[in-house]
Amino acid sequence: MDVANRGARNGESRYDGSGWLNRERVVLYGGATLALAVILLAAWAYVSGGFMHEDGPRPGIDYTVFWTASWLMLHGDPGSVYHYPSFAHAQTALLGGYVNHGFLPWLYPPTLLMLVTPVALLPYAASFLLFTVLGCAAFVAAVLEVSSFKVHLGRKGLAALVVLAFPGVLVAAMLGQNSLVTAALAAYALGAMTRYPVRAGVCMGLLAIKPQMAVLFPLVLIAVRDWRVFASAAMTAFALMAASVMVCGTASIPAFAAGTAIARELVLEHRVMYWSASPSAFAAMRLAGLSLPVSYGVQIFVALIAIAATLRVWTKTSDMRVRAAALAVATLLVTPYVWHYELAWLGIAVFCLAACGFQKGWLRGEQTVLALCWLLPVYESANRMLKFPQIGPVVLLLMLLMTMRRARLESGAR
């Protein structure tokens, strides 16, 4: 009995090979998105005099934090990275008017501080360009590997362009954020679990550079009893943390903790601009005017739902595309501190489920949810100015629901 008939027998929406989201349209929409991004970037460069006007935003503004921290590390002053007045002075002295929109502090753990140390070996512009190119290339390669999207699109080059055109990639690249790197590590780890468990664990362990994006990996590994990957990940994370403390000094740990507390109090809990651009349940509640206790309560409830759903998916199906989709979406749902640029992770789920749809047929509503996910990074970025209601967690929960339906049908077919 095939999956479609078994699903229909169980009262579930069956797979359907038809639908408006075919391969030709995927290429068309991806190409149109990429072309529009190039046009907007060219227009931005034109009106800003080649990004030289000091009274407007500039590409890679977030990358100034990484480059400044690297410069301080290379010049033997790691302690000043976590000292906000010293870091602000260095940022202004090194980059001048490029950071004209206010001070951007270093809020990351010493693990990331150690790994970004080499980036200031190049001048800022060259370093930012290289970081962006390598981040995009790593993300595209890792997503194509875990999703097998290139197989279903027919040509690897076209598939790569479509993945590159995902707005979550473009937003992260424009800002110079590290979410392309963390998403690439996650995607590669998931794709390598079966054949290369040690490599997969190393990639998971490296996510200690951004711990809030790694919280679900230990849970799913325990759920499926993959102890080789678990051990590799644990040893990598421990070695990375130990090395970072040796390089950055023991004072970096309490300094990072203090910075986290400041970010929670000033940004997470009380900054409207953050709530408008964060696809988290906490941000949605705060933007709607709810109190801190209620907002945290809703966030915890949504996080527990996301964790339970992910564990169920991982124990119901062995299809890594469905597993990867669930983990990527749930990772975005479990943390209250998630910015719009982290939606690069959503690309993992989009292309994994798209590959499933092309191979096995579409579930009812699945194509619409994928379209909403494609547009969500654009909405979140624009919402910093528009101040519309926060719809991010709703879209993410819908995507998680679609992933659960996939897993349920596949488990029923076995």
Distances 145 to 113, 120, 200, 365 between C-alpha atoms, Å: 29, 31, 13, 26
Query: Within 13 Å and on the Cβ side, how many CA atoms surround 152?
Result: 22
pLDDT category at 14 given cuts 50, 70, 90 is low
Mean pLDDT throughout 392-396? Answer: 98
Instruction: Tell whether 118 is covered by a domain.
Output: yes
Q: Is residue 172 part of a domain?
A: yes
Contact predicate 402/356, CB 8 Å: no
What are the angstrom distances between the C-alpha of 191 and each of 27, 200, 228? 24, 8, 15
What's the confidence (pLDDT) of residue 156? Answer: 76
Q: Three-state secondary structure along 59-126?
A: CCCCHHHHHHHHHHHHCCCHHHHCCHHHHHHHHHHHHHHHHCCCCCCCCCCHHHHHHCHHHHHCCHHH
* Residue 248 to residue 4: CA distance in whole angstroms: 56
Q: Is the pLDDT of residue 49 over 70?
A: yes
Give the model's pLDDT for residue 18. Answer: 61
Chain-centroid distance of CA 171 in Å reads: 11
pLDDT tens sequence across 261-307:
888 888 889 889 999 999 999 999 999 999 999 999 999 999 999 99
Question: Is 189 part of a structural domain of the chain?
Answer: yes
pLDDT at 413 over 60: no
Amino acid at position 114, single letter: M
Express each pLDDT in 168-227 by its tens digit.
999 999 999 999 999 999 999 999 999 999 999 999 999 999 999 999 999 999 999 999
Tell whether the model's pLDDT for residue 54 goes beyond 90: no
pLDDT number for residue 78: 85
pLDDT at 224: 96
Cβ-defined contacts of 241-245 (< 8 Å, 24+):
241/110, 241/111, 241/208, 243/114, 244/109, 244/110, 244/111, 244/113, 244/114, 245/110
- Quote the pLDDT of residue 98: 74
Query: Count of CB atoms within 10 A of residue 155's CB?
Result: 11
Question: Do the beta carbons of residue 13 and residue 405 sit within 8 Å?
Answer: yes
Does any domain span residue 2? no
How much of the chain exceeds pLDDT 70, in percent? Answer: 93
The pLDDT, as a whole number, for residue 48 is 78
pLDDT at 266: 84
In total, how many domains does the chain have?
A: 1
Residue closest to 205 by CA, chosen among 236, 180, 231, 178: 236
16 strand-pairing partners: 362
Give domain status of residue 11, yes or no. Answer: no
Q: Per residue in 84-105, pLDDT tens?
A: 888 988 998 898 767 766 668 8
Q: Examine residue 217 and state whether it is found in any structural domain, yes or no.
A: yes
Mean pLDDT of 346-362: 94
Residue 195 counted as domain residue:
yes
From CA 317, how far away is CA 139, in angstroms rounded? 25
In a domain, 73, yes or no: yes
Structural domain boundaries enclosing 400: 17-413
Region of poorest pLDDT, from 142-156, 206-220, 238-252, 283-297: 142-156
Average pLDDT, the chain: 90
